[in-house]
Homo-oligomer: A and B are copies of this chain.
Amino acid sequence: MKTEDKPVILVTNDDGYRAKGIQALIEVVKPFGKVVVVAPSEGHSGMSHAITVKVPLRIEKVEEKEGFEFYICSGTPVDCVKIAMNQLLKEKPSLLVSGINHGANSSSSIVYSGTMAAAMEGCLYEVPSIGFSLLDFSKEADFSSCINPARKIVGNVLKNGLLPDTCLNVNIPNVPENEMKGVKVCRQNKGVWREEFDKRTDPNNREYFWLTGEFYNLEPEADDTDEWALHHKYISIVPVQTDLTSYASLEQIKKWNF
């Protein structure tokens, strides 16, 4: 197959273009097509679906060779997707992959995640999209165990497609590949972050606060959630939708007295 006939695969992340995780993700998708990387110039953890409206964006092409282009963008992960779709790509990509994030994006953490926001943005562009995360927050995380499992998931998405307005949230346990139990297709766990601030006093005797906190799993016994799967060394896949409507609530609220 000639390069121009190969599917185009858009790669982005939220840890920035220098992160080890994005290098691993490029490895994952290389066999499947022409790879175009558009990654933030800096880390954007916790940026969620933020977009840049107060300052303009810059893009810089840093590498181009047969079947591969690499751009750096000054914005957020979602900005990267938007600028790729609007300015950089000549055609709609066959797939968008985001990550591999340094650290989990399971349970309700999805709402804070720049990695998953990029995948959801791809989904809004009607591109099959996957966010990948490894359960290791460290800069030096070892992504080698992710390559094969992630390739299998990418292969399935390219072959089978996804339902409209749906993308995938894939989390990978931080264990060697031969200790992984397999893949579990899950629902999003009900969990929350609490005790979230570290209060300190600056040299001028003024208070300041660092955001920190602890995750609480509110349903540790439920065996159909991503948290359960990861805790039991499975790779979790949660299909995620961009329609946030609580259909179960519609009839209740229609009965209210306005």
Q: Which residues of A contact B (CB under 8 A)?
A: 45-53, 56-59, 75, 78-79, 82-83, 86-87, 108, 110-112, 117, 120, 124-125, 149, 152-153, 156, 160, 162-163, 165-166, 168, 182-183, 185, 187-188, 190, 192-197, 199-200, 206-211, 237-250, 252-254, 256-258
Contacts and interface: CB of A to CB of B under 8 A. Distances in A.
12 contacts: A45-B53, A50-B112, A51-B211, A59-B207, A79-B211, A86-B197, A153-B258, A156-B256, A163-B249, A165-B246, A187-B243, A239-B249
Tally of this chain's copies: 2
Contact of A245 (B49, B197, B239, B254): B239
Q: Which 7 residue pairs of A and B lie closest in terms of their CB atoms, listed nearest first?
A: A239-B249, A48-B49, A241-B246, A239-B246, A56-B208, A183-B258, A187-B245
Contacts of A192: 124-125
Given A209-B57, A211-B53, A244-B110, A86 B195 contact: yes
A49 B49 contact: yes
Contacts of A243: 187-188, 190
Nearest to A183: B258
Contacts of A45: 53
A58 B206 contact: yes
Contacts of A196: 82, 86
Contact of A253 (B56, B57, B75, B237): B237
Nearest to A56: B208
